[in-house]
Amino acid sequence: MKVYSFYTRQRKIFPMELELQLMRGLPKLQVLGLPDQMIKESFMRIKSALMSTGFSWPNSQQILVNLRPADVKKHSLGLEFAIAVALLLETQQIKLELPKDRLFIYGELGLDGRVLPPKDLECLRPLLHEDDVVLTSFEGDLSHKGRVYLKTLADLKEALVTFREDEIPTPQPERPQLPDLWFSKDQAHVLALSAVSGASTLLAGPPGSGKTTFAESLFHLLPDLAEEDFLNLRAHHLQFGEDLKFRPMISPHHSTPIMSLIGGGGNLFPGEVAKAHGGLLILDEFLLFPARVIDALREPLASQKIQVARGGAGVTWPAAFQFVATTNLCPCGKLSAKRNFSCGYTLQKCRSTWERLSGPMLDRFDLVVLTDAYRSRGAKEELVSLAEVKKQVDQARRHLSESASLKNACSQGIPEVYRVFQSRRRENALVKLARAQAALEGRAEISSSNWTDAFLLSQRDVKAIGDLFAN
């Protein structure tokens, strides 16, 4: 008897083939194909579940189960249900109208025969073909048109179980409520520009200047998700044990070690970078992170994936996210490239703080903003709410998607006066910000003023920060 199920390896789910055959011998269950200890322990759970629901256990016969591929160590939360059903089919204790395509069986078993949903059930959806049939628990939330559910093994006692389509409510993204935040016109413009462009953003300046509020507000400006994209993203994060309602926002503490950030360990586990996939990664107090941790972000920011290899094993996780970092420029927080200041620390102490940020890492920020010190706002100062910023951002995204000339804008259109790049990344950052600036203004083409504003935001403050300790 051949059916299909799923196994987990390095927190990723894969389909597998399950073959079951009876042989003369002692009545025991023998699982081949590198099962882990949890699978090996399933013998008594399966036997108890079958006996509790009125089925019989084969006498004087050994049950051989072969899992393919056979050369990969396997962990599975729902294999015992597949073994139980395959055994019932092989011993002709039940009859099923088998589908033309693959029959997947996935679920946990209680000792009383109840069929329980594995916690990674929703992760199966991206792996299923349209015509695949899945036999699983009644309580599960798997959204698939070929899903058939059971409450207990006793439900299989009918003379014929017909596979049917079930109407399962599809999880929908739940965008969090917008907080009541207000920004100056300049802050609101930079916030909208960062959101529309998806730029990696560095905010540096004195304490209390609104850097963290800016970073957290970006989460509320992330793009909406189509249903298919949300389900795939949700399935990805369920592998990490996260019940995603919208896009993720990950903000690790500055004491986070490098392995927790990028992943690793003997049994390879994902780090915070992989968990931020599809959402926003915030590193608050950026320069308090160790230099090794900061530089570990260079590869995932460039490739939008994280590759980790330990002890002869390797795994790749997607890591496409918007990145924003906030920091003070020195221990006292008063250092600024925009104004003079007095500081009680030595120049060497201030320099050692800033030197944690290497030149190549700084170059990976598309947008660098030096914030001003906090000042009390006047009663007549015009403020912009986060709700208004979101409205501007949504309109700009729609305009950008409809404007072929903006989507296809490239570095060839950069005016000659702004071609003073120190790297290709600074050139790409200029194009990205100029395109977003034009979209916010509703333009069909990038204007000269758009190039000017983008140049100042992508180049000026990067140079100012680089020149802080040049002398």
> pTM (2 decimals)?
0.81
Examine domains 2-157 and 182-466 and report if their fold is the same: no
Rounded to an integer, what distance in angstroms lies between the CA atom of residue 153 and that of residue 85?
Answer: 8
Q: For residues 129 and 144, is the Cβ–Cβ distance under 8 A?
A: no
Helix axes 185-197, 386-402, angle to 10 degrees: 40
3-state secondary structure of 41: coil
Q: For residues 322 and 198, is the Cβ–Cβ distance under 8 A?
A: yes
Q: Which pLDDT score, from 0 to 100, does residue 265 have?
A: 81
Q: Which pLDDT score, from 0 to 100, does residue 67 have?
A: 95
Q: Which pLDDT score, from 0 to 100, does residue 343 have?
A: 67
Q: Which pLDDT score, from 0 to 100, does residue 159 have?
A: 42
CA angle 399, 425, 278 (to 5 degrees): 55
Rounded to an integer, what distance in angstroms lies between the CA atom of residue 324 and that of residue 286?
Answer: 9
From residue 370, alpha-carbon distances to 81, 109, 323, 339 in Å are 58, 58, 17, 11
Rounded to an integer, what distance in angstroms lies between the CA atom of residue 59 and that of residue 380?
Answer: 88
Q: Which pLDDT score, from 0 to 100, does residue 310 have?
A: 80
Rounded to an integer, what distance in angstroms lies between the CA atom of residue 96 and that of residue 87?
Answer: 13
| CATH dotted code for 2-157 | 3.30.230.10
- Those residues of the chain that have pLDDT short of 70 are 98-100, 140-149, 158-169, 333-344, 347, 373-380, 411-412, 421, 461-471
| CATH dotted code for 182-466 | 3.40.50.300
> Taking the domains of the chain in order of start, what are their residue ranges?
2-157, 182-466
Q: Which pLDDT score, from 0 to 100, does residue 164 have?
A: 47
One-letter identity of residue 29:
L
Q: Which pLDDT score, from 0 to 100, does residue 353 have?
A: 76
Q: Which pLDDT score, from 0 to 100, does residue 148 have?
A: 67
Measured on CA atoms in the order 303, 306, 309, 315, is the torsion positive or negative?
negative
Rounded to an integer, what distance in angstroms lies between the CA atom of residue 163 and that of residue 323?
Answer: 46
Q: Which pLDDT score, from 0 to 100, does residue 413 have?
A: 77
Q: Which pLDDT score, from 0 to 100, does residue 321 have?
A: 95
Rounded to an integer, what distance in angstroms lies between the CA atom of residue 379 and that of residue 377?
Answer: 7
| C-alpha torsion 430→431→432→438, nearest 10 | 110
Q: Which pLDDT score, from 0 to 100, does residue 204 have?
A: 86
Longest CA–CA separation in the chain, Å: 90
Encode burial over 197-224: b for 16+ CB neighbours within 10 A, e otherwise: bbbbbbbbbbeebbbbbbbbbbbbbbee
Q: Which pLDDT score, from 0 to 100, does residue 160 have?
A: 39
Q: Which pLDDT score, from 0 to 100, does residue 98 have?
A: 67
Residue with tokens 């990344």: 425
Q: Which pLDDT score, from 0 to 100, does residue 411 have?
A: 66
The two tokens of residue 297 are 């972000």
